[in-house]
C-alpha cells in the first residue's frame, strides 16, 4: 500500500541479527485481536485517515501494523518498545506486510522518547502496569500529544496477591493496575479524563480502557 519504509530514532545494536519472530500461533492470535480492536480504538481516539498515532510498548507489532493499514498511506504510526528483539521484529513485520509508514523508536524506563507534539493520539495496551518511572514517563506522553490529542490506556485489574513486576510501585496491588490509579496518575500529568470502559474489548473483554485527552 506504500512505497518506502520509515525507520527513525532507533538505538539498535549492529551485533544483533534479524529478530527471531514469535511462534506462528502467537502471531496469529495477536493479529486477530488487533484486527478486532483497531477500528473501535481509532473511533475512540477520534483519529482520521492520515493521522499520526503512537503505539507505546508495541511488542511484536500487531497493533502497529493494523493501525498503520487503517490510517492509510498518508498516516503514520510511531511504534515504541524497550527491547531490541521487539524493535527488530516490528521492522521485519512491516517489511513482510509492505507497510512503510511505521517509525520504530526505542523507549526507556523514564521516557517514551516520542518527539514533542508529534501525535494526534497515543495508545498503550497491556504495558502501563509495567512502568517503573511513571511520573516522568507520563510527562513525555503529555508532551508528545498535540492540543486536544487523546490517550488510551488499555490494561487490567490486578489479582490480589499476584506478583508485581520488578521495580513497579507496590501501590498497583499485584500484577496489573487499578482503573482509578490510572486516572489519578494521568490526571496528575495534565491529562483530562474523558471516560472509562470497564470491559475491553467490549462486551466480554477482561481488560479495561481509560480514555484521556490533552487540554
Interacting residues of 28 by C-beta distance below 8 A, sequence separation 6+: none
Could you count the other beta carbons within 10 Å of the beta carbon of residue 70? Answer: 19
- In terms of C-beta density within 10 A (0-12 exposed, 13-18 middle, 19 or more buried), how is residue 10 classed? middle
Asked if 63 contacts 39 with a C-beta cutoff of 8 angstroms, the reply is no
pTM: 0.89
In the three-class reduction of DSSP (H, G, I as helix; E, B as strand; rest coil), residue 62 is classed as helix
What span, in angstroms and rounded, lies between the C-alpha atoms of 52 and 73? 11
Q: Identify the H or E element spanning 44.
A: helix 24-45
User: Residue 55 half-sphere exposure, CB side, CA atoms within 13 Å?
Assistant: 27
Q: 112-148, pLDDT tens digit by residue?
A: 999 999 999 999 999 999 999 999 999 999 999 999 9
In 134-178, alpha helices (H): 134-144
Domains, the chain, in order of start with CATH, read 24-213 (3.40.50.150)
Q: 160-205, pLDDT tens digit by residue?
A: 889 998 899 999 999 999 999 999 999 999 999 999 999 999 778 8
Q: Is residue 213 pLDDT above 50, yes or no?
A: yes
Amino acid at each position: 500500500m506504500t512505497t518506502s519504509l520509515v525507520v527513525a530514532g532507533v538505538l539498535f545494536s549492529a551485533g544483533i541479527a534479524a529478530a527471531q519472530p514469535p511462534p506462528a500461533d502467537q502471531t496469529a492470535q495477536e493479529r486477530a485481536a488487533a484486527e478486532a480492536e483497531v477500528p473501535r480504538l481509532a473511533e475512540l481516539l477520534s483519529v482520521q485517515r492520515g493521522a499520526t498515532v503512537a503505539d507505546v510498548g508495541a511488542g511484536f507489532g500487531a497493533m502497529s501494523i493494523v493501525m498503520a493499514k487503517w490510517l492509510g498511506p498518508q498516516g503514520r504510526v510511531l511504534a515504541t518498545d524497550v527491547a531490541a528483539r521487539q524493535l527488530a521484529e516490528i521492522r521485519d513485520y512491516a517489511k513482510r506486510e509492505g507497510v512503510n509508514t511505521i517509525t520504530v523508536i526505542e523507549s526507556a524506563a523514564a521516557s517514551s522518547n516520542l518527539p514533542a507534539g508529534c501525535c494526534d493520539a497515543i495508545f498503550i495496551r497491556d504495558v502501563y502496569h509495567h512502568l517503573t518511572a511513571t511520573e516522568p514517563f507520563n510527562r513525555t506522553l503529555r508532551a508528545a500529544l498535540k492540543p486536544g490529542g487523546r490517550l488510551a490506556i488499555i490494561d487490567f485489574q490486578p489479582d490480589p496477591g499476584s506478583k508485581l513486576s520488578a521495580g513497579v510501585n507496590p501501590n498497583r496491588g499485584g500484577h496489573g493496575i487499578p482503573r482509578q490509579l490510572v486516572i489519578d496518575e494521568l490526571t496528575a500529568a495534565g491529562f483530562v479524563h474523558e471516560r472509562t470502559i470497564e470491559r475491553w474489548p467490549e462486551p466480554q473483554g477482561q481488560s479495561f480502557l481509560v480514555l484521556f485527552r490533552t487540554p
